Amino acid sequence: GAVVSQHPSRVICKSGTSVKIECRSLDFQATTMFWYRQFPKKSLMLMATSNEGSKATYEQGVEKDKFLINHASLTLSTLTVTSAHPEDSSFYICSADTVNYGYTFGSGTRLTVV
């Protein structure tokens, strides 16, 4: 079946540093990848939609310069949290639309900024 591999699963970084999160589609080509953020005990909030070979589309209120998204190939999309601060600590998860009707999600990245 369609698998999206997301790394790292957990990361702790110092305030002011940048963190890159990768999502790879392992057995299918993902022209579109969605990036979500989830606060504890809350729902998933769509941050941006990344399209292979073009600029990402960000949702209202999401800072483009803080959350850099790159979708350089049909199998890889990355989210870089730049100059991270403690308020950026969250669970980040990506998903891709497969050939079938379901979305496949990565396993998520728990980011803690100290």
Minimum Å gap between C-beta 16 and another protein is 26
Size of residue set near another protein by CB under 8 A: 21
Cis peptide before 8 (omega within 30 of 0): yes
Could you say whether residue 105 binds another protein (CB under 8 A)? yes
Report DSSP letters for 49-68, one per residue.
EEETTSPPEEPTT--TTTEE
Could you say whether residue 43 binds another protein (CB under 8 A)? yes
Minimum Å gap between C-beta 22 and another protein is 16
Residue indicated by tokens 């392992």: 26
Could you say whether residue 28 binds another protein (CB under 8 A)? no
Distances (CA, A) of 86 to 62, 69, 76, 106, 114: 16, 20, 27, 23, 6
The backbone torsions φ and ψ at residue 52, rounded to the nearest 5 degrees and listed phi first, read -55, 125
Task: Please list every residue from 81 through 100 that binds another protein, using CB under 8 A.
Answer: 91, 93, 95, 97
Minimum Å gap between C-beta 65 and another protein is 19
**Contact residues for another protein, defined by CB under 8 A:** 32, 34, 38, 42-44, 46, 49, 57, 91, 93, 95, 97, 101-105, 107-108, 110
